[in-house]
Structures are given as structure tokens and as C-alpha cells.
């Protein structure tokens, strides 16, 4: 029996030609559900912090999940369908889909692993045909969002923690896989990239690009 390999995909600016988190805020502003002035500037600042590697993930998730607590889940789910059609579908690339399909065809265990909350990202992973998602999980109480996060946010070292937890639930650990792939655009993902056997830099930011060149990691574009 051939051993199953593991394929992990970052989502924003990796499988997607854009950022689903950042654009969700812009979408809510466009829908008249958030105040443009107060929200836009903070959104820009958080996005800049993320790119610079100094994002306070707890503060950011508070900011990002707060709007979810203001609406019924049923309303939010309908709103997300509109978001998928209007904003996300145009960001999904054929090359990204082909990459996912290649790993699925090989029988690899595939998962999207992202710092973005799972309310925003689960339907996107599903649209790519990836069953498993490891994201930052918004708290649900009695079927409604509270605006809080539950568990460890899957950001930086948190991605390693969450991956290990997820594998443990399946009676596995990372070292069980002869080949483990992780595709990412961001230097924020270096903690996990250094642990897999096959790290791949995708449309990489400058810090990751430099590091990938030094380590002779493969670099690809999915755009």
C-alpha cells in the first residue's frame, strides 16, 4: 500500500488572487453593514500589520468577528453566497484549482490552512473541492456568532499548533507523511513551511521570496 502524502494550502494570496479577509470588510462596507470611515482605516492598518509580520491576531479577530455578532447566522450565510459570487469567484484561479486537483488525484490528504476565520473561508475551501479547513474559528453559542474566537488562532506558530491538533484527531502526526507540502505566499507562514518536507513559495512576498531563494525552495505562481 502506498503511503498517503499531505498537501496544505494557504488561502489568501495563495490559492486566491487576493485576500478574503480584507475584502470581506470592504464588501460589508459596500453592503452598508459597516461604517466606512471607522472600519476602513482600521482594516487598512491591520492588513499592513499582517504584511509586515506584526499583526496582533487577537485584536484583529476581535475586530473581524464583531460584525458577525450583529446579525443572525442565517442572514450571514445568505450574505456570504453573494460575497462568493461577487468577490471570491473572480479571485479563484484556474492554476490554483489545477494544483488542488493534482494533489487530490494523487490521493493526498488535502487541507486549507489559514489565519482567516472559518466563517469566511470554509465555503471558499469547499468551492475549491478541499474538504478540510483549518482556520481561526469564531465562537458559536446557540447557533449564533458571539464575536469571540474559540481555540488557538491559526496564525504563525498557531498554524503549527492547529495542524498538530488536527492530525492528532486523525491519529497521525506530521512525521508520518513521507511527503508533506505547504503552499504559501507569506513570510508569516515560515514556522510551518520549515516543518514540511516540501515547502513551496507561491507568488511570495519579498521576505519569503528571499528566504526561499536562500533555501532553494521551489517558487511558483498561481496567477
Give catalytic residues, as residue numbers: 10, 12
- Cβ-proximal residues to 194 (8 Å cutoff; 6+ apart), any chain: none
Distance, C-alpha 3 to centroid of its chain: 26
Which residue, 54, 45, 11, 49, is CA-closest to 25? 45
Sign of the Cα torsion 191, 87, 102, 110 reads positive
CA–CA separation, 155 and 189 (whole Å): 8
Please tell me whether residue 131 adopts helix, strand or coil conformation: coil
Task: Name the E strands within 98-190.
Answer: 109-117, 132-141, 144-150, 180-184
Amino acid at each position: 500500500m502506498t503511503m498517503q502524502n499531505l498537501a496544505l494550502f494557504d488561502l489568501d494570496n495563495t490559492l486566491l488572487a487576493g485576500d478574503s479577509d480584507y475584502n470581506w470588510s470592504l464588501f460589508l462596507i459596500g453592503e452598508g453593514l459597516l461604517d466606512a470611515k471607522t472600519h476602513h482605516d482600521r482594516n487598512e492598518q491591520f492588513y499592513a500589520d499582517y504584511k509586515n509580520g506584526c499583526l496582533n491576531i487577537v485584536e484583529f479577530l476581535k475586530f473581524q468577528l464583531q460584525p458577525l455578532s450583529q446579525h443572525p447566522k442565517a442572514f450571514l450565510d445568505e450574505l456570504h453566497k453573494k460575497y462568493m459570487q461577487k468577490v471570491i469567484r473572480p479571485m479563484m484561479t484556474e492554476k490554483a484549482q489545477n494544483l488542488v486537483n493534482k494533489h487530490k488525484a494523487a490521493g493526498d490528504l488535502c487541507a486549507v490552512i489559514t489565519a482567516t476565520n472559518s466563517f469566511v473561508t470554509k465555503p471558499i475551501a469547499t468551492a475549491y473541492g478541499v474538504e478540510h479547513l483549518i482556520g481561526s474559528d469564531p465562537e458559536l453559542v446557540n447557533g449564533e456568532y458571539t464575536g469571540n474566537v474559540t481555540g488557538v488562532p491559526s496564525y504563525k506558530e498557531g498554524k503549527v499548533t492547529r495542524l498538530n491538533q488536527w492530525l492528532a484527531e486523525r491519529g497521525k502526526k506530521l512525521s508520518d507523511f513521507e511527503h508533506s507540502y505547504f503552499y504559501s505566499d507569506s513570510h508569516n507562514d515560515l514556522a510551518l513551511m520549515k516543518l514540511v518536507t516540501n515547502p513551496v513559495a507561491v507568488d511570495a512576498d519579498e521576505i519569503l521570496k528571499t528566504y526561499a531563494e536562500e533555501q532553494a525552495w521551489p517558487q511558483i505562481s498561481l496567477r
